[in-house]
Amino acid sequence: MDPGAARGEALEPLVRELERLDASNTEQRAQIAVDAKRRLVDLEELHNANRLVTVGTLTAGMAHELGTPLGVVLARAQMIISDENDLAEARKDAEEIVHQVKRMTQMCREVLDFARPKPPTRDPVDVVQVVRQMIVLLVPEARKRTAKLVLAGEPPATLVLGDPSKLMQILTNLTINAAQAMPDGGTVTLGVERKRVRPPAVEQLPEGDYICIHVQDTGTGIRSADLGHIFETFFTTRKAEGTGIGLAVSARIAREHDGWIGVVTQEGRGSTFTVHLPPLAPSAA
């Protein structure tokens, strides 16, 4: 028998096995791609579900807050109709009506802008500006809970690379949670700083400089038994008003931005949640 033919026959089973393995690997790769796509869809649905829950909370607070400017508008309009004032007073009443209507329009616009889903982006974002916008957005909800929102100091513009809408979603979630953690009211203090941090080992991120956005409340704190579960989907300690998706979504958005969320808490003394994000590289500015 020809030695070459013999070697060919001997290699045939090995070739068939390699072809089988290659087909199997192709199927596995295809299945992994399908699973990854499904998980991305599920994650985006979770983001949108959380956004709707948050918008519902903001809308409830806004509806409560609209009562004051509407009362002012009604009173001033009635004074104009009664024609009891002179022209100068009527002009002042009209100016006040314009001011209050603009105030209400701005409230509605801010909630609508937050509610509209936007395609993910990666742009330079000033997180200090996002914090300031978020504070304005949440004033009605905070007042309803006798809570005060404060930005500590006068932080300079601080840039990261990210999606401003999703970063707003993180900060809105954390701030609403902070206000809800203070049943008797209190102060939510927000701060922004850049500092060198060693990430938790589980995050598998390098030690270095990070932009740290702190959300500190003076509320009830988190029980030690609950601390390890707070970022799990659907875990909540507030059954009456919590859905358990806000912190889970926030943690995932932070990871999408190559960051993470840390928490320091003490029962009865409040909690501080900190969003850590890599600073914008000078070349990307």
> 158: which 2 tokens?
């601080």
pLDDT of residue 254: 92
Q: Which CATH class is domain 1-117?
A: mainly alpha
**Strand pairing partners for 151?**
190
| H/E stretch holding 139 | helix 127-144
Q: 200, 211 in Cβ contact below 8 A?
A: no
Confidence class of residue 206 from pLDDT cuts 50, 70 and 90? very high
The CATH code that applies to domain 123-284 is 3.30.565.10
In this prediction, residues 166-189 reach a mean pLDDT of 91
**DSSP annotation of 279:** B
| Residue range 60-88, pLDDT digits in tens | 666 666 767 787 787 778 777 777 667 77
Task: Please state the domain extents for the chain.
Answer: 1-117, 123-284
Q: Strand ranges (DSSP E) for the chain? A: 123-126, 147-151, 159-162, 186-197, 208-216, 260-266, 270-277
User: 35 versus 158: which is more confidently predicted?
Assistant: 158
Domain 123-284 in the same topology as domain 1-117: no
Residue in 247, 249, 191 with CA at minimum distance from that of residue 222: 247
CA separation for the pair 256, 251 (Å, rounded): 9
Q: Reply yes or no on whether the pLDDT at 283 is more than 60.
A: yes
- How far apart, in whole angstroms, are the C-alpha atoms of residue 81 and residue 258? 59
Task: Give per-residue pLDDT as tens, 125-144.
Answer: 999 999 998 898 888 888 88
Give me the percent of the chain exceeding a pLDDT of 70: 66
Q: Considering only residues 19 and 248, tell me which one the structure prediction assigns the higher pLDDT.
A: 248
pLDDT tens digits along 113-129: 666 656 667 899 999 99
Q: Is the pTM of the predicted complex or chain greater than 0.85?
A: no
Mean pLDDT of 175-188: 91
pLDDT digit string, tens, across residues 7-30? 556 566 666 666 676 666 666 666
Q: Kindly tell me if the per-residue pLDDT of 172 is higher than 70.
A: yes
Least confident of 42-51, 82-91, 133-142, 209-218: 42-51
- Listing DSSP states for 142-184 in one string gives HHHTTEEEEE-S-PPP-EEEE-HHHHHHHHHHHHHHHHHT-TT
